[in-house]
Structure 1
Amino acid sequence: MLDVALTIVRDEGADRLTLGHLAARAGISKPVAYDHFGTRSKLLIELYKSIDQTQAAALQAALTTGERSIEETIAALASAYIHCYADTTGEWHAIGAALAGSEEKEAVYQELLDGYVQLFAAVLKPHIDLQQAELERRCIGLIGAGEALSGAMVRGNCGEPEAAETFASLIRGGLRESLSCRSNGEA
């Protein structure tokens, strides 16, 4: 059902995604859709989580394969993060907008962002001479920048390569003074 829901969002927009419309498009009865999701908000939350899980897995796979220098790590991190948004062709933002103001969405969104903070910190830690708490705070800021750049890209204000390079530059700048301690002059 989530695949059909994603198709509806892609083809018709998030506003058209209702439990009744999902049931009709999936060839199931309305009660089945309502029994499974309960409400439209819960359907949107599950779809939001599903898209994120797919993108987080792709991001983690891109970042945890092979050894990289700090520059290669930063480039891979920025590129993979921005590509996750490009790969969803705007569905992530459309579903997020449809859930705007939902307390449940805010809790889920924060949980997802916390996961990205941990992933960023784990990928950067081997190259950074910062205490874990400080590294995580910086990753929070960097992810905020990545979110803003991704949104700009989705709105057509820049392309994926420009967004990724800008994000990489911000990562370097946000970590510059702590890079040289462990990277032997790679920064």
Structure 2
Amino acid sequence: MRAEHLGPQRRRPQVLDTALDIAADEGLAQITFANIAARMGVSRPVVYDCYRTRGDLLAALLERETEVALSRLTAILPPLKTGSVEDMFVEGFRSLLGDVRERPASWRIIFTEDPDPTLAEAISGGRRQLTEHTAAVMRPLFERWQIADLERVLPVLTEVFLGICETSVRTMLAPESTWAPDELADIVGRAAYRALRART
């Protein structure tokens, strides 16, 4: 039986969810309009009504998942008034790595090592967005720590922080990984805190 008729606006989230499921099960290369249509029980024109090209679809999927990643990554950074900043970093990484365990396909798309050529520009834009947003959120914490020459140092410390985040995500995603989110968060959370405080 065919799926009920929905307009493109209501259908797009379903298309992206299906694409994400395919990526999780079979890899990015298998995200095609034909495969999406088959899984959804609709005709290919229904998918084309939502996204003009495969590149448009993949870019939209990456954009959606990057927005979620932004909220998770910046949640690691503690508010200005808090108890132990180091413990807050650990808690933040625990939340991040728990999400990686819950939604591995999303994080594989964001941190893919072998990006689909169609995704290259979107991945570059997504990473740039992550870097800019993270730097903006980190600034008040660094000002509180009275880091000297902040304008010059902020981009470097932002990349250090994101590098630790990416390493922790890749570690969780590795097929042979035996890490639990709590266990890994205790290591990388404290490492991130100490790396960022090295300048103070």
| Fold agreement, TM-score > 0.5 | yes
CA contact (8 A) 1:60 1:119 kept: no
Task: Give the C-alpha shift of residue 172 in structure 1.
Answer: 2.2
Q: Considering only aligned residues, what root-mean-square deviation do their CA atoms show, in Å?
A: 3.0
Name the aligned partner's letter for residue 175 of structure 1: L
CA separation in 1, counterparts of 2:173 and 2:186? 16
> If each structure's helix is expressed as a fraction of its own residues, which one has the higher value?
1
**1:174 and 2:189 matched:** no
Match of 1:162 among 141, 162, 183: 183
CA contact (8 A) 1:59 1:80 kept: no
Name the aligned partner's letter for residue 2 of structure 1: L
Please list, as runs of the form range in 1=range in 2, the aligned pairs for 1:29-108 lying within 5 A after superposition: 29-60=43-74, 67-69=81-83, 70-94=85-109, 96-97=112-113, 99-101=115-117, 102-108=119-125
Q: Deviations over 1:12-52 (max 9, x none)?
A: 43332211211222233312322432332332222122222
Q: How many residues align?
A: 179
Name the aligned partner's letter for residue 46 of structure 2: V
CA separation in 1, counterparts of 2:24 and 2:60? 16
Task: Give the C-alpha shift of residue 120 in structure 1.
Answer: 4.9
TM value normalised by structure 2: 0.70
Name the aligned partner's letter for residue 147 of structure 1: E
CA separation in 1, counterparts of 2:144 and 2:184? 23
CA separation in 2, counterparts of 1:57 and 1:17? 26
CA contact (8 A) 1:120 1:139 kept: no
The equivalent of 1:128 in structure 2 is 145
Alpha-carbon spacing, 1:105–1:46, altered in 2? closer, same or farther (3 Å) = same
Match of 2:162 among 123, 143, 148: 143
The equivalent of 1:26 in structure 2 is 40
TM value normalised by structure 1: 0.74
Q: Which runs of 5+ in 1 are unaligned?
A: 180-187
Q: Which runs of 5+ in 2 are unaligned?
A: 1-14
Task: Give the C-alpha shift of residue 86 in structure 1.
Answer: 2.5
CA contact (8 A) 1:150 1:163 kept: no
CA separation in 2, counterparts of 1:142 and 1:113? 11
| Sequence identity (%) | 22
CA contact (8 A) 1:59 1:81 kept: yes
Task: Give the C-alpha shift of residue 140 in structure 1.
Answer: 1.1
CA separation in 1, counterparts of 2:142 and 2:115? 34
Alpha-carbon spacing, 1:85–1:10, altered in 2? closer, same or farther (3 Å) = same
Q: Deviations over 1:157-185 (max 9, x none)?
A: 35122331222122122123455xxxxxx
CA contact (8 A) 2:76 2:89 kept: no
